[in-house]
Amino acid sequence: MATRDVTAKKTLAKIEALAKGVVQEVKKRKNPRLVVPLRTLSNVQFNAKKKIIELGADKQERAFFNVAQAKKFMQTFLVASACKELLEVGKTTSIRDLYYMTKHTLGDTRQNTFDEQDESDPIIEDLEVTVDALREELHLFANRKGLMVGPMTVIDSGDTIDLRRQGSGGWGVPSIVEPNVIRFGKTEAKYVLLVEKEAVWSRFNEDKYWKKEQCMLIHGGGQPPRGVRRLVQRMHSELKLPVYVLVDNDPWGFYIYSVIKQGSINLAYESMRMAVPGARFVGISSFDPERYRLPDETAIRMDDGDHKRIKQMLEYPWFEKKQWRRELEAMASNNKKYEIEALSRRGISFITEEYLPKKLRDRDFLE
Amino acid sequence: MATRDVTAKKTLAKIEALAKGVVQEVKKRKNPRLVVPLRTLSNVQFNAKKKIIELGADKQERAFFNVAQAKKFMQTFLVASACKELLEVGKTTSIRDLYYMTKHTLGDTRQNTFDEQDESDPIIEDLEVTVDALREELHLFANRKGLMVGPMTVIDSGDTIDLRRQGSGGWGVPSIVEPNVIRFGKTEAKYVLLVEKEAVWSRFNEDKYWKKEQCMLIHGGGQPPRGVRRLVQRMHSELKLPVYVLVDNDPWGFYIYSVIKQGSINLAYESMRMAVPGARFVGISSFDPERYRLPDETAIRMDDGDHKRIKQMLEYPWFEKKQWRRELEAMASNNKKYEIEALSRRGISFITEEYLPKKLRDRDFLE
């Protein structure tokens, strides 16, 4: 990632514009201020047409000459300045590193710029919405998980990697997968299969499902990290590949699917570039245990947290569709949840040889 | 992994021998029994000569005609039978899958063979020690984490993978890295650098430290999973590469180093094939913050749990050496701990350009 790259230049220009605005206010002897879009639940809507969760138009001001706002004002510029340095030298770093880079004790006081990382993380999110640049464009990365294999060549930071020849290991999906880092090369893929769990991914990889089916096989180790979500979104929008999601039959699995599909409330401002409204749910459906004859001892009893979560989810506008109500209500009334691995009770490779092929053949998925 | 492979044949023979022994006892109208090496703390010793934690000679019997032992007897054979099936079809599976594969309700009772996975996991460990085969040789895998890059070609399940060209992503280290799955090809590596954290690994990878220094760069996402430990052990023993470990300056970081070096108490029976007694600790040392001028605000105050852990660790025979006492006692008396990322306060690439090169040049490491 060289400084010379176009994305970095654009982001640098955005940060500089922010700083120049403040400098001009100072020169005019005005109280310098930042206008930051509000990232609160009240400023989040579900856009029924685009089918994604979006940030509304509410904004808040942060003035320098305001006792309550001065610290956050200063913190925002500290983070912006560190990102500027990263962009200029063409390096990326973790949000943990950024916290240490920007942590100082102020003068002779015992005041720190930041006391904990949970103070610097929201400032990063503020900066993202204020200058309209994803965290990745600010050259920051979060922890990552996730592996991908399949009929595709990717160019990662100049290295050509053949995802058809990754053995049992797989290519680790980076945290930053923007087009200036990851480019898609030749591919024969017909769709993307995103599975919730690494162990399930390994079953599909060992059985070479992706080769027989010509699909990209990716997992995100539970709730997929940003890199995995963004990469799936890029394959969907740039390569026009359908996306199928395979998760546990429990409220958490359904929620993972929902975040992939329409984004999350927390990061609503990024839905445009992270959500895949066309993503399809291939299971485990609440009706699968009966349909695929899973013995009762493979079920897990639901707890109070599960039931509470289902109630919450039934109130989300994006779960309003009849088929989702049926799923969630069946799960609640059965009082049972099932992991993907429960299918192993029907045979080691039942999932790759019977379950999923039948689901796709019958177009038995939910949207 | 084909059934035909030699390792699988050997493991199959071990399982069959176990079963035949029992059948013979039955034919002789004797009470069939299993002899299982004891995996308790009392049966674990530190072998000062080999410098690894080892299992002692104590064993326990599990008889079929014994109310207290019959269930475990049966469970052991259920697991053995599932592993036999895996070996015969040349597939591997997760320990979670194995739990579902072997979970049944017995006849018309409400008794299950296993109620939770924490019942089947210890049975796997019992089987490992009883037939003297690593879990990986039984074709079982655990969750995995960890990535590797560096000047080496590996052959993974028949695919040739150039770890010199893995971009920002890296090759995901599989859970099973036995020689029948992973073979080492051409390499120019001079040593192995194992870092505790993924974010730190990304810093070293982005700075192409492994290229300048000609080293294998690997991380295990905290306490390294079995695959990472075994792979490092294989590179050390088969390729004669020195191993350097970079962890946080806290009891947990030191413990990670200790597990890599001499194995763990829990899995003492595997130390021979997992531990790297020659592993060297390159930091963060309790004396580094002063030596490398880390400002005080980058320190984290220790909590009661940390102090308690240090006391425990001072009693381990493998921390008896003077240099380790100094490290642990300094940490306790400073009442401060430091993350690797604290070095970022000295500059984005301080760790790759100054800290580690100096440590290695000065041979400033602990053993």
**For residues A151-165, average pLDDT:** 97
Q: Is A123 exposed, middle or buried (0-12, 13-18, 19+ CB in 10 A)?
A: buried
Of B94, B114, B57, which is closest to residue B176 (Cα–Cα)?
A: B94
B166–A161: do the CB atoms touch at under 8 Å? yes
Phi, psi of A45 (to 5 degrees): -130, 155
- Dump pLDDT digits (tens) for B342-351: 999 999 999 9
Q: Can you give the pLDDT at residue A4?
A: 54
Q: pLDDT-based confidence at B266, cuts 50/70/90?
A: confident
Pairing status of strand A336-337 against strand A300-301: antiparallel
How many contacts, defined by CB atoms under 8 Å, are there between A and B?
Answer: 175
Tell me if B125 sits within 8 A of B38, measured CB to CB. no
Residue with token string 């493991």 = B11
The answer to whether the Cβ–Cβ distance between A297 and B104 falls below 8 Å is yes
Selection from A102-116, A267-281, B55-69, B205-219 with the highest mean pLDDT? B205-219
B253 and B314 Cβ atoms separated by less than 8 Å: no
Q: What's the pLDDT at B4?
A: 54
Pairing mode, if any, of strands B33-37 and B59-63? antiparallel
Residue B118 marked in a binding site: no
pLDDT of residue A218: 98
Cβ pair B262, B251 in contact under 8 A:
no
State the pLDDT at residue A3: 43
Residue type at position B100:
Y
Phi and psi angles of residue A135, each rounded to the nearest 5 degrees, phi first: -45, -40
pLDDT over 50 at A65, yes or no: yes
Please name each of the domains of chain B with its CATH number: 6-31+66-141 (1.10.10.10), 147-361 (3.40.1360.10)
**pLDDT (average), residues B50-54:** 93
Task: Assess contact for B284 and B232: CB atoms under 8 A.
Answer: no
| C-beta separation of B123 from B79 below 8 A | yes
Q: Does A293 touch chain B (CB under 8 A)?
A: no
Question: Looking at chain B from residue 16 to 75, which residues have their Cβ under 8 Å from any Cβ of chain A?
Answer: none
Confirm if B336 and B289 have CB atoms less than 8 A apart.
Answer: yes
Structure tokens at A15: 């940060």
- pLDDT for B40 beyond 90: no
pLDDT attached to residue B297: 92
Identify the band that residue A353 occupies on the pLDDT scale cut at 50, 70 and 90. very high
Minimum-distance CB partner of B92 among A145, A182, A206: A206
Lowest-confidence segment of A4-8, A78-82, B322-326, B332-336 by average pLDDT: A4-8
**CA–CA separation, A129 vs A138, rounded Å?**
12
Task: Say if residue B3's pLDDT is above 70.
Answer: no
pLDDT given at position A272: 86
| Average pLDDT of the residues in B271-289 | 95
A297 touching chain B per CB within 8 A: yes
Mean pLDDT for all residues in chain A: 94
A260 upstream amide cis, omega within 30 of 0: no
* A365 contact partners, CB below 8 Å, separation of at least 6: A244, A280, A281, A282, A283, A359
A155: chain B residues, CB-CB within 8 Å: 167
From the list A92, A103, A295, the residue facing B206 with the nearest CB is A92
Distance between CA atoms of residues A195 and A181, nearest Å: 24
Distance (Å, whole) CA A136 – CA A227: 9
Residue B362 phi, psi (nearest 5)? -80, 0
For A201, the token pair is 């991914």
d(CA B120, CA B139): 15
Cβ–Cβ gap A103/B168 under 8 Å: no
CA-based nearest distance B172→chain A, Å: 5
How much of chain A exceeds pLDDT 90, in percent? 87
For residue B338, the number of C-alpha atoms closer than 13 Å in the C-beta half-sphere is 29
For residue A320, give how far its alpha carbon lies from the nearest alpha carbon of chain B (Å).
33
More confident residue, A165 or A264: A165
Chain B residue closest to A98 (CA)? B344
Is there a contact between B96 and A339 if contact means CB atoms under 8 Å apart?
Answer: yes
Estimate the crossing angle of helix B251-262 against helix B322-334, to 10 degrees: 160
Q: Is the dihedral of CA B219, B223, B225, B231 positive or negative?
A: positive
**Which residues of B are known to be catalytic?**
100
Q: pLDDT, tens digit, for every residue of A306-315?
A: 999 999 999 9
Assess contact for A160 and A211: CB atoms under 8 A: no
Q: Which residues of A are annotated as a binding site?
A: 196, 248
* Inter-chain touch B91–A160, beta carbons under 8 Å: no
Do the chains contact at A101 and B344, CB–CB below 8 Å? yes
Q: Quote the pLDDT of residue B107.
A: 82
The answer to whether the Cβ–Cβ distance between A103 and B154 falls below 8 Å is no
Work out the average pLDDT over B86-96: 94
Q: What is the mean pLDDT of residues B121-143?
A: 93
What is the average per-residue pLDDT within A69-79? 94
**B-chain residue closest to A165, CA distance:** B159
Quick one: pLDDT at residue B2? Answer: 47
CB B313 within 8 A of CB B253: no
- Give the span between the Cα atoms of A354 and A349, in whole angstroms: 8
| A107 interfaces chain B, CB cutoff of 8 Å | no
Tell me how far CA of residue B201 lies from CA of A32, A87, A96, B192, B260, in angstroms: 40, 20, 13, 13, 17
Res. B7 pLDDT band, cuts 50 70 90: confident
Cα gap B235→B237, rounded to integer Å: 6
Kindly state the percentage of chain B with pLDDT values over 70: 99
A15 pLDDT band, cuts 50/70/90, is: very high
Residue B1 has pLDDT above 70, yes or no: no
Q: What is the rounded CA–CA span in Å between residue B127 and residue B125?
A: 5
Cα B213 to its chain centre, rounded Å, is: 26
Question: What pLDDT digit, counting tens, does each position of A261-312 carry?
Answer: 999 887 888 888 999 999 999 999 999 999 999 999 999 999 999 999 999 9
Tens-place pLDDT, residues A241-267: 999 999 999 999 999 999 999 998 878
Residues 146-165, chain B, touching A (beta carbon < 8 A): 147, 154-161, 165
> What's the confidence (pLDDT) of residue A82?
96
Q: What is the DSSP letter of A53?
A: E
Task: Tell me the pLDDT tens digit for each residue of A309-343.
Answer: 999 999 988 888 999 999 999 999 999 999 999 99
Chain A residue with Cα closest to B174: A169
